[in-house]
Amino acid sequence: MYKIAVLISGGGTNLQSIIDSINNKYLENCSIEYVISDKVGAFGIERAKNNNIKTYELDKKQYKDSLSDKILEIIDGKVDLLVLAGYLSILKGDLLKKFKDRIINIHPSLIPAFCGNGMYGLKVHEKALEYGVKVTGCTVHFVDEGTDTGSIIIQKAVKVEDDDTPESLQKRVLVEEHKALPEAIKLLSEGKISFKGRRVVGEQ
Ligand code: GRF
């Protein structure tokens, strides 16, 4: 069984896409062992509880710099993959070392555009519209010491419409996120990912 832990900070629609993909057998050999939130009361915790998944609510204001270490304490030796799904705290320390190439994140733009420190949520789409890009989308990438700088696994493009608002664009990108994240997990769980330097190659 390919065991997963999912980190969340909010509503957890990306978490839900993984839960649904397991329940509909798209992710056949996968299980979510833990859902961990850095925000007490995040709705994603409810989603996990509704699916009998063990949850931890680690208030980032309480754990501060020890948050990554606490996450490692919970998952070390227990899961194969750590998935950041709408998670807003920065990971650091031993967690990044022990889970090298086993942590992935979903970002709502085509990295390297509109990413990096402070670029999350609606702001990403505001910047895309402000810049005037014709195509945006989402990226699933490995997490390294940087912010949104790890090797790219999957990207999905979304056409920007003339009458788009940040909210309408966010909605359409989220639909693609909910496809991209399970697809990336499936590739990893089936061992179909390899590297050519920084590039991720394998069956797409
Ligand atoms: C999503 O746009 C995701 O790309 C970003 O956080 C947003 C909220 O995700 N990382 P969710 O609905 O909490 O999964």
Please state the length of the chain: 204
Instruction: DSSP for 96-161, please give it.
Output: HHHTTT-EEEEESS-TTSS-STT--THHHHHHHHHHT-SEEEEEEEE--SSSS-SPEEEEEEEEPP
Contact 155, 107 (CB under 8 A): no
Cβ-based neighbours of 194, under 8 Å, separated by 6 or more: 200, 201, 202
Contact 137, 176 (CB under 8 A): yes
Closest CA to 89 of 114, 113, 68, 110: 68
pLDDT at 204: 60
84 CA distance to ligand 1 middle (Å): 9
Q: Give the residue, out of 89, 177, 185, with the most ligand 1 atoms within 8 A of its beta carbon, to mutate for a pocket test.
A: 177
Q: Which residue's C-alpha comes closest to atom 7 of ligand 1?
A: 86
Q: Which residue's C-alpha comes closest to atom 1 of ligand 1?
A: 86
Question: Is 166 close to ligand 1, i.e. is its CB under 6 Å away?
Answer: no
129 CA distance to ligand 1 middle (Å): 18
Contact 79, 31 (CB under 8 A): no
Contact 154, 185 (CB under 8 A): no
Q: Give the residue, out of 13, 15, 84, with the most ligand 1 atoms within 8 A of its beta carbon, to mutate for a pocket test.
A: 13
For 2-194, which CATH superfamily applies?
A: Formyl transferase, N-terminal domain (3.40.50.170)
178 part of the active site: no
Planar angle of CA 173, 175, 178, nearest 5 degrees: 110
Boundaries of every domain in the chain: 2-194
Match 């994140």 to its residue by tokens: 105
What burial class does residue 55 get, using C-beta atoms within 10 Å of its C-beta: 0-12 exposed, 13-18 middle, 19+ buried? Answer: middle
pLDDT at 80: 98
- Residues 15-35: what's their mean pLDDT? 98
36 CA distance to ligand 1 middle (Å): 15
pTM of the model: 0.97
Task: Give pLDDT tens digits for 49-106.
Answer: 999 999 999 999 999 999 999 999 999 999 999 999 999 999 999 999 999 999 999 9
Task: Give pLDDT tens digits for 140-188.
Answer: 999 999 999 999 999 999 999 999 999 999 999 999 999 999 999 999 9
Q: Which residue's C-alpha comes closest to atom 5 of ligand 1?
A: 86
